[in-house]
């Protein structure tokens, strides 16, 4: 696989349609363990994959993101991914909804906290520069999430190591409590492939 060592590759922040849906909701009935203090899910990854055995996915869309940060791909997305030899996603199929998959992004890049400090951010009346850290639960030690300003960039050293045709996820998650999710990045050739296939995928230049 070619790695561009001389000049960093162009990449984008991508995201799916809003599913208007909590993946770890009542319908999925997974064995969810909650922190007794902050009520955040302690076994999130385990519960997500467990629910894939029982959930009947009803959102017939190309690529969506749930309120609690789970990315779901259709068979069409899956086929394009393999046709164009993309990298960085493990697809977990729904047992009761053939043709739909949970996307597990396997490559992690570090969000650039230093560059973010140059950008003004405002949340719930608080004004600051850079990423707003909601802190951690004193009991379970899990992050309560972050709020971030634009742009959504990764650190320069990770930019220099980007591989062609590859998806990445940020090392920290954004949002609050059980509605946190990472930023998803994709290299330029992925965005061009989806354009070529005339498929709807949302993206922002970073």
Least confident of 42-46, 93-97, 114-118, 168-172: 114-118
Q: What is the pLDDT of residue 131?
A: 75
Instruction: Tell me how far the alpha carbon of residue 74 is from its chain's centroid.
Output: 16
- Top mean-pLDDT range of 6-10, 20-24, 98-102: 98-102
Count of CA atoms in the C-beta half-sphere (13 A) of 64? 19
For residues 115 and 81, the model is more confident at 81
Residue 12: C-alpha distances to residues 61, 103, 161, 196 (Å): 21, 18, 15, 16
One-character DSSP codes across 82-145 = HHTT-BSEEEEE-SSSTTEEEEEE--EE-B-HHHHTTSEEEETTEEEESPEE--B-TTT--B--
Which H helix or E strand runs over 46? helix 44-51
Residue pLDDT, tens place only, 102-135: 999 999 999 988 877 776 666 666 666 667 788 8
Residue pLDDT, tens place only, 14-56: 988 877 666 776 455 567 888 999 998 888 888 888 888 888 8
- Alpha-carbon distance 32 to 12, whole Å? 33
For residues 76 and 52, the model is more confident at 76
The SS3 assignment for 39 reads coil
Instruction: Tell me how far the alpha carbon of residue 23 is from its chain's centroid.
Output: 14
Q: What is the pLDDT of residue 147?
A: 77
Q: Is residue 155's pLDDT more than 50?
A: yes
Where does the pLDDT of residue 6 fall: very low under 50, low under 70, confident under 90, or very high at 90 and above? low
Q: Is residue 5's pLDDT more than 50?
A: no
For residues 73 and 44, the model is more confident at 73
For 82, phi then psi, to 5°, come to -75, -35
- Top mean-pLDDT range of 52-56, 74-78, 134-138: 74-78
- Alpha-carbon distance 188 to 151, whole Å? 16
Where does the pLDDT of residue 92 fall: very low under 50, low under 70, confident under 90, or very high at 90 and above? very high
Give the global pTM: 0.85
R_g of the chain computed on alpha carbons: 18
């Amino acid at each position: 696989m070619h790695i561009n060592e001389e000049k960093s590759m162009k990449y984008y922040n991508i995201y799916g349609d809003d599913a208007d849906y909590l993946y770890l909701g009542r319908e999925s009935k997974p064995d969810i363990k909650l922190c007794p203090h902050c009520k955040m899910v302690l076994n999130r990854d385990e519960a997500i994959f467990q629910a894939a055995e029982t959930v009947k996915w009803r959102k017939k869309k190309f690529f969506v993101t749930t309120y609690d940060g789970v990315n779901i791909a259709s068979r069409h997305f899956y086929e394009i991914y393999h046709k164009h030899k993309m990298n960085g996603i493990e697809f977990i199929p729904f047992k009761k909804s053939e043709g739909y998959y949970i996307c597990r992004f396997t490559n992690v890049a570090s969000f650039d906290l230093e560059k973010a400090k140059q950008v003004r951010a405002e949340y719930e009346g608080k004004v600051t520069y850079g990423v707003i850290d909601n802190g951690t639960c004193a009991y379970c030690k899990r992050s309560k999430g972050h709020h971030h300003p634009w742009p959504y960039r990764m650190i320069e050293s990770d930019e220099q190591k980007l591989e062609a045709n590859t998806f990445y996820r940020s090392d920290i998650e954004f949002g609050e409590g059980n509605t946190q999710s990472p930023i998803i990045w994709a290299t330029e050739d992925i965005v061009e492939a989806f354009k070529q296939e005339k498929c709807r995928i949302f993206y922002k230049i970073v």
